Amino acid sequence: MVNKKNMAIYAAANAAGVSEQEMRDTIITTQDGFFEISFSTEWMIYDIFVDEVTMHVLGIDYRPVPVNDLLAQLPESRQNAS
């Protein structure tokens, strides 16, 4: 099962156009014959569905990381500069 999860992660990264090293907070769930891989990168949040047997990507949902989350990562001195 670990190998299938690794293959699903690779398929998700490839579909999103990112490297596996760029993936953060990766969560993998299995349900009804597919993997759901949820992860974020520096700028985006992804939910990708991969067929458990064929490893084909069935769907991708993505959205930008909320601005407030990005601001929270900045040093405090840069947050107040406007």
Of 71 and 32, which is predicted with more confidence? 32
Give Cα separations from 22 to 5, 18, 38, 76 (angstroms): 17, 6, 13, 25
Unique residue bearing structure tokens 């405090």: 76
Domain assignments of the chain as residue spans, ordered by start: 2-79
Distance (Å) of CA 62 to CA 37, 38, 51, 69? 12, 10, 18, 16
Token pair recorded at residue 13: 């990264």
pLDDT tens, position by position, 33-49: 999 999 999 889 999 99
Q: What's the rounded Cα separation, in Å, for the pair 75 and 46?
A: 26
Q: For domain 2-79, give the fold.
A: Nuclear Transport Factor 2; Chain: A, (3.10.450)
Q: What's the mean pLDDT in 7-27? A: 96
Residue 56 three-state SS = coil
pLDDT at 2: 77
Q: How would residue 80 be classed by pLDDT, with cut points 50, 70 and 90?
A: low
Average model confidence (pLDDT) across the chain: 88
